[in-house]
Amino acid sequence: MQLNFITDANDPLLDYIKDDPVRPEIPREFRVGTNKFVGTLVDERPLAMICVSLMDRVPQTVSDLHLTAGLITVAVFYTIWSYAPGAGVDLLRATVARIQEEFPNITRFVTLSPKTEMARRFHIKNGAFVLSENSETVNYEYITKNA
């Protein structure tokens, strides 16, 4: 298995965002670029995908994902999906580890999750806690060994 960080909107792996069950309305151009990328766990084909925005604060809405002006210290996971059992959590862990290696200023790992039971179960089961409940979203935070 290989972890890729996609930063180019023309990458053919971005065609798989059509399968995003959480935020299918977000276009591919929004998902990559300055301080944004899509992580993929690949083994001949994608096993899981995660969209990440590197920010200076914890967002409460999707619109907030582009509001970054200060020092980048927060990695925000705003959608994740998988094609194979267990691949989502494997991708989440591998993405956190790589961000810690490549972006030493990142000290927080949070989500911008929908208010669904499936999102709650996934994040709580994998070690996150509820940071804040917003009008349309929930922020979960992961505590990591090195953060």
Could you tell me the pTM of the whole model? 0.93
Question: For the chain, which domains are there?
Answer: 2-142 (3.40.630.150)
pLDDT in tens, 26-76: 999 999 988 999 999 999 899 999 999 999 999 999 999 987 778 999 999
Kindly report the CA angle at 70 between 69 and 75, in degrees rounded to 5?
A: 95
CB 78 within 8 A of CB 65: yes
Record the tokens describing residue 41, joined without a space: 């766990």
Helix (H, G, I), strand (E, B) or coil at 18: helix
Spatial separation of the C-alpha atoms in residues 29 and 2, rounded to whole Å: 23
Strand 108-111 vs strand 74-82: parallel, antiparallel, or unpaired? Answer: parallel
117-128: per-residue pLDDT in tens? Answer: 999 999 999 999
The letter for the amino acid at 41 is: L
Helix (H, G, I), strand (E, B) or coil at 87: helix
- Torsion (CA) 30, 7, 21, 122 in degrees, nearest 10: -120
